[in-house]
Amino acid sequence: MTTILLGPQRFQTTATTVLRSLGTDGPVATINSGWEEREDVVDELDAALDGRAVHLRLHHRMLDVLAKDHAFASAALAFRDRHDDLLALYRLRLHHALDGVYAVQRRVWSTPGFGVGFGAVDDGIEGVRSVDRWYLRALRDLYGDFAAHSPIDGSGVIGWHRGEIEAILAHAAALVMPGGHVGTLLRTLRLFALRIPDSLPVIAWSAGAMALTERVVLFHDHGPEGASESEVFDAGLGRVRGIVVLPHARRRLRLEDRARCAILARRFTEQHCVLLDDGTTVRLRADGSLPAGARILGVDGIVHEVRPR
């Protein structure tokens, strides 16, 4: 199974070289539904993929479903409202939990010897993980209710699109997943029940790389309204396991703030927090593990490189 994660492509395009390194011929399927209304603005993407691109146009297909299947559209709107309510509660709980962790951490780190061995920071981080787990359980329940009461599997228009998508993927030599709005990307992937064959090479960056993971984590320390806490947004496709993807890390994380970065890495300690900055190429090993040189956020709050085996 070949999976390659790239840094953002806006300022440094590496997708062309990486695609050519696969040595494959034939069409390259693309999923750029995260671009939303700009999904068909693909001149630069076509050029980067040597003119081999076949666009799945999942956002366009989703709009077609919403326009033609009124029962599904109504169910989708109700789900969106319930998800917004859940997110509001999650963010409220998350912010309070993290505020407590940061306060304890500041006291422990600022006073040598104070609180050593009490495990207060670790216990606080476990409380944050508990909030994350609660949110994911509640979200799974929402998806379960949606599947039970919406006409997805019985929808003729959805079934037609799924069949066409499956046929395109069956003849593709590779799949490319760019970035954009990760929420929209995930919604289209779920709507069309997209399954990527293990044998199909995948190249992904930004939101596309995030969507390949088990858990999609949103983060931005330099947002327009100030820092926002990192949050578990949704489950991804799960092709990439044991990794939390952090695109645009230099631009979006306060990497100089060792204390804050340490909390982020320790919160997801069972997974590697992988930094995908401009020019980065992470070609996962055959067993799905990270290659030597991949940059990860350590539990000490410092960026490290994966060592050779």
Q: What tens digit of pLDDT does each residue of 25-49 get?
A: 899 999 999 999 999 999 999 999 9
What percent of the chain clears pLDDT 90, i.e. is strictly above it?
71
Supply the DSSP symbol for 38.
G
Among the listed residues 290, 299, 304, the one whose alpha carbon sits nearest the alpha carbon of residue 5: 290
The answer, as to whether pTM is greater than 0.85, is yes
Distance of CA 294 to the CA centre of its chain: 18
Q: Give domain limits for the chain.
A: 7-69+151-212, 73-149, 214-309
Contacts of 12 (CB under 8 A, 6+ apart): 278, 279
Distance CA 29, CA 114 (A): 56
Contacts of 144 (CB under 8 A, 6+ apart): none
pLDDT at res. 111? 73
Q: What is the pLDDT of residues 79-136, one digit of tens each?
A: 999 999 999 999 999 999 999 999 988 888 777 766 665 788 889 999 999 999 999 9
Sheet strands side by side (includes 281-283): 53-55, 28-30, 174-177, 202-205, 3-6, 281-283
Token pair 């293990």 is found at 198
Question: Phi-psi category of 208—alpha, beta or left, where left has phi over 0 and alpha has psi -120 to 50?
Answer: alpha
Question: Phi-psi category of 57—alpha, beta or left, where left has phi over 0 and alpha has psi -120 to 50?
Answer: left
Would you say 175 and 30 are in contact if contact means Cβ atoms under 8 Å apart? yes
Residue 224 pLDDT grade (very low, low, confident, very high; cuts 50, 70, 90):
low
Distance CA 97, CA 117 (A): 21
Among the listed residues 216, 161, 165, 180, the one whose alpha carbon sits nearest the alpha carbon of residue 37: 180
- Bigger pLDDT: 271 or 52? 52
For residues 252-273, average pLDDT:
90
Count other Cβ atoms within 10 Å, centred on residue 75: 18
Looking at every residue in the chain, the average pLDDT score rounds to: 91
